[in-house]
A and B are shown apart, each in its own frame.
Chain A
Amino acid sequence: MGVFAALRNHARCFTQCTLDDEKERKMLQIEDLQVKLGDKEILKHIDLEIHPGETHILFGPNGSGKTSLLMTIMGYPQYRVTGGKILFKGKDITHMPVDERAQLGISMSYQRPPTIHGVKTRQMVQICAKGEVDVEALATKMNFSEFLERDINAGFSGGEIKRSELLQLMAQDADMLLFDEPESGVDLENISLIGNTISKLLQRDFMVKSEKTQKERRKERTKMGLIITHTGFILDYVTADKGQVLYEGVLVCTTSPREIFRTISEVGYEECVRCVS
């Protein structure tokens, strides 16, 4: 290798390294997080890091605290942080109000969002996009055009709620996306639409004949995802880097999501009980 080539290489590494550092600073970092809902301790000493470009799947039986963890990250005040902290993009957001977190780049797809009478779905999409947005085009993608003039979530079926939530997240275009059981209540016809949309939102969709290689695209990926799943269906559509198991408020396990799903499918959460005790 000639001197110039070596220098060029070095320079590239230097740029790449700073870029990586830059990227890393944007991660979500949860340290020793303890949360109470009312008087009940629902999250116990949670440590979790989601790096830019990473997607994690969150497993756990009913009532284990999965939704609570998402709501705490989003900043819902009834989830009272009694210890530990949450950092996002280098900022301590532990006690930051919901709207500021949203502005900083956190978004959430809810399982049971409230109905707001008189507020149309179209308006919600505009709110998410902070103004300029081609609502029709987005809605067409989500097969949701006929719902735009309806009051948000009013009389929506389970599957319609999911499509509405994803439509809003598409408009919001946040860096950190939290999904609370995105596939629950979705009929077979729409499950691939939901799955593929999430995949796209998390920059994990496969592009045929893309100018960039898949490897390059992976490297450039910045979106962070945390997905709660009950059925595991979502794993057929969304690739994920890590799986986490939450059991009675404790993160008991971190490994490949496929492996966790397989274990749960085979023996249920029995196996997790052994790790807790």
Chain B
Amino acid sequence: MRELDKKALQAKEKNAKLGPDIDLESYDSEPVPHDYVEDLGSLSEAEKKRMILAGVDAEEKDRSGTYIQKDTAVLHAGSKEEGLEVIPIKQALREHEWIKDYYWKLVSVDTDKYTARAQLDLHDGYVIRALPGSKIIYPVQACLYLEKEGLSQNVHNIIIAEEGSELHVITGCATAAHLRQGLHVGISEFYIKKNAKLSFTMIHHWAEEMMVRPRSVGRVEEGGLFLNNYICMRPVKSLQMYPTTHLVGKGAVARFYNLLVGSPGSEMDVGGRIFLKETDTRAEIVSRAITNGGNIIARGDLIGEVPGVKAHLECRGLILNGGSIHAIPELKGEVDGVEMSHEAAVGKIAQEEILYLMSRGLSEDEATSTIVRGFLSVDIPGLPPQLKAEIDRAVEQSDKDVM
């Protein structure tokens, strides 16, 4: 821990490579106490409503476990299933020696001032682990909720899918309806072990003046599968993230799906980077961005380091009503025998498509919204129906806002 602190201290002033700089001192970081909630039903209706928007169901229907953090405090953490652990990270650091093998092992603590802050001033976060061979069919839900105005919420999450296990996680970040300003710093480390499967779906539901700096890295071993879905369709002042995954075992697969809607005043810089380090690994990054006034940078980076890998990058953007989309797809093949491709397109809705739908009886607005919804509805193979439904709901909601 000393070592980590030392490294973090050195990176305290280190600006991130991407995204506008944030003055960390202008945010309050003092702990905000909230009582632990045994019964999720006792959350206030307003909170439940906001959490539902981010995919978290207080009744835990069709969920195998829950983690809820409000501001800096853990409200609830628990597993409903054998073979699944849901533990607050501070508790894990106190009670379990094994967590040290995962904590800051993928993300470097001195990456930038945000990682440094998550070490030096950690509030909490979750550790979700599927034990070897456990098939956790229902998703685990996690919510990082922000209520206190001007707070910097610093969290660190670790997800481990042990050998042969299957785990689905939906994590929502949401803010109270009244909240305007805040900062969210979130470290996430994903371990997908041999023949394990992890789907991680993150739905962000921020406020207009929120600054968001997630830092995440995943590692997939032989025969493992990592599905990483990110959905952000609500206003946010500045969001910058570039999640990275290393495919280190033969036949490992990673798929990233990003759905972004940029509202006026929003700056989003969202990427995905996958290193293919072993033969027969596969990677796919699919990004869909719509702007109706915001500025979006959609990055993608695939690096093929050994022969016999396949990777594809697809980036589509729609400019509906002002704003900009900057698609930056990158491919790097370092040896013979890699198969890598990308396609990128940025444009407006084709008039021809609108008229086609109108000739089937839809009004112009209905036609436009049908096309937008279609644009955002990406088929994600391997995603459980409950999560598909959550994504559809987020798309439905954003459609109302975009129109």
Binds A, one of B132-140, B177-185, B349-357: B349-357
Q: Is the CB of B360 within 8 A of A128?
A: yes
Binds B, one of A94-102, A202-210, A268-276: A94-102
With A and B bound together, what is the CA distance between A117 and B356 in angstroms? 13
Contact (A108, B359) CB under 8 Å given A99-B364, A116-B353: yes
Contact partners of A83 in chain B: CB under 8 A: none
Q: Is the CB of B373 within 8 A of A124?
A: no
Q: Does A172 contact B (CB under 8 A)?
A: yes
Interface of A is mostly: mixed
Contact (A128, B364) CB under 8 Å given A76-B355, A110-B356: no
> Which of A75, A108, A118 has most B Cβ within 10 Å?
A118
Contact partners of A151 in chain B: CB under 8 A: 374
Nearest-neighbor residue (CB-CB) of B373 within chain A: A118
Q: Does B385 contact A (CB under 8 A)?
A: no
For chain A, the bracket of interface size reads 20 to 34
Least Cβ–Cβ distance between A135 and chain B, in angstroms = 14
Q: Does B11 contact A (CB under 8 A)?
A: no
Those of A71-99 within 8 Å (CB) of chain B: 74-77, 97-99
Contact of A119 among B352, B358, B364, B371 (CB under 8 A): B371
Least Cβ–Cβ distance between B124 and chain A, in angstroms = 38
**What string of 1s and 0s marks CB contacts (under 8 Å) between B31-65 and chain A?**
00000000000000000000000000000000000
Least Cβ–Cβ distance between B350 and chain A, in angstroms = 6
Contact partners of B375 in chain A: CB under 8 A: 117-118
Contact (A107, B359) CB under 8 Å given A97-B364, A114-B350, A118-B378: yes
Contact of B360 among A75, A117, A118, A168 (CB under 8 A): A168
Contact of A74 among B359, B363, B370 (CB under 8 A): B359
With A and B bound together, what is the CA distance between A168 and B374 in angstroms? 18
Q: Is the CB of B377 within 8 A of A118?
A: yes
Least Cβ–Cβ distance between B169 and chain A, in angstroms = 25
Q: Is the CB of A127 within 8 A of B370?
A: yes
> Which of B352, B359, B362 has most A Cβ within 10 Å?
B359
Q: Is the CB of A114 within 8 A of B364?
A: no
Q: Is the CB of B374 within 8 A of A113?
A: no
Least Cβ–Cβ distance between A97 and chain B, in angstroms = 7
With A and B bound together, what is the CA distance between A118 and B380 in angstroms? 12
Least Cβ–Cβ distance between A105 and chain B, in angstroms = 10
Contact partners of B220 in chain A: CB under 8 A: none
Nearest-neighbor residue (CB-CB) of B354 within chain A: A98
With A and B bound together, what is the CA distance between A176 and B358 in angstroms? 16
Contact partners of A119 in chain B: CB under 8 A: 370-371, 374
Q: Does A62 contact B (CB under 8 A)?
A: no
Contact of A127 among B361, B376, B378 (CB under 8 A): B361
Q: Does A130 contact B (CB under 8 A)?
A: yes
Q: Does A277 contact B (CB under 8 A)?
A: no
Nearest-neighbor residue (CB-CB) of A113 within chain B: B356
Nearest-neighbor residue (CB-CB) of A103 within chain B: B361
Nearest-neighbor residue (CB-CB) of B379 within chain A: A118
Contact partners of A98 in chain B: CB under 8 A: 355, 358-359
Interface size on B, residues (CB 8 A): 22
Least Cβ–Cβ distance between A104 and chain B, in angstroms = 10
Contact partners of A76 in chain B: CB under 8 A: 355
Q: Is the CB of A102 within 8 A of B376?
A: no
> Which of B352, B356, B364 has most A Cβ within 10 Å?
B356
Least Cβ–Cβ distance between A71 and chain B, in angstroms = 9
Q: Is the CB of B361 within 8 A of A114?
A: no
Those of B378-392 within 8 Å (CB) of chain A: 378
Contact (A172, B357) CB under 8 Å given A117-B375, A119-B371: no
Contact of B361 among A102, A110, A113, A118 (CB under 8 A): A102
Nearest-neighbor residue (CB-CB) of A98 within chain B: B358
Nearest-neighbor residue (CB-CB) of A125 within chain B: B360
Contact partners of A103 in chain B: CB under 8 A: 361
With A and B bound together, what is the CA distance between A151 and B373 in angstroms? 13
Q: Is the CB of B360 within 8 A of A114?
A: no
Contact partners of B355 in chain A: CB under 8 A: 76-77, 98
With A and B bound together, what is the CA distance between A265 and B156 in angstroms? 77
Contact partners of B373 in chain A: CB under 8 A: 118
Contact (A97, B359) CB under 8 Å given A118-B374, A118-B377: no
Contact partners of A127 in chain B: CB under 8 A: 357, 360-362, 370
Contact of B374 among A74, A97, A116, A128 (CB under 8 A): A116
Contact partners of B374 in chain A: CB under 8 A: 116-119, 151
With A and B bound together, what is the CA distance between A114 and B367 in angstroms? 13
Contact (A172, B353) CB under 8 Å given A117-B375, A119-B370, A127-B370: no
Least Cβ–Cβ distance between B388 and chain A, in angstroms = 14
Contact partners of B350 in chain A: CB under 8 A: 114
Least Cβ–Cβ distance between B49 and chain A, in angstroms = 28
With A and B bound together, what is the CA distance between A118 and B356 in angstroms? 15
> Which of B352, B375, B378 has most A Cβ within 10 Å?
B352
With A and B bound together, what is the CA distance between A200 and B367 in angstroms? 29
Q: Is the CB of B361 within 8 A of A128?
A: yes
Nearest-neighbor residue (CB-CB) of B372 within chain A: A118
> Which of B357, B363, B376 has most A Cβ within 10 Å?
B357
Those of B217-276 within 8 Å (CB) of chain A: none
12 extra A-B contacts, CB within 8 A, seeds A98-B358, A99-B364, A102-B361: A74-B359, A76-B355, A98-B355, A98-B359, A99-B367, A102-B358, A114-B350, A116-B374, A118-B375, A123-B370, A127-B362, A168-B360
B residues lining the A interface (CB < 8 Å): 350, 352-353, 355-364, 367, 370-371, 373-378
| Pairs A-B, 5 closest by C-beta atoms | A118-B374, A119-B374, A99-B358, A98-B358, A118-B377
14 pairs, CB–CB < 8 Å, chain A vs chain B: A97-B358, A98-B358, A98-B359, A99-B367, A107-B359, A107-B360, A113-B356, A116-B353, A116-B370, A116-B374, A123-B370, A127-B360, A151-B374, A172-B361
A residues lining the B interface (CB < 8 Å): 74-77, 97-99, 101-103, 107-108, 110, 113-114, 116-119, 123-124, 127-128, 130, 151, 168, 172
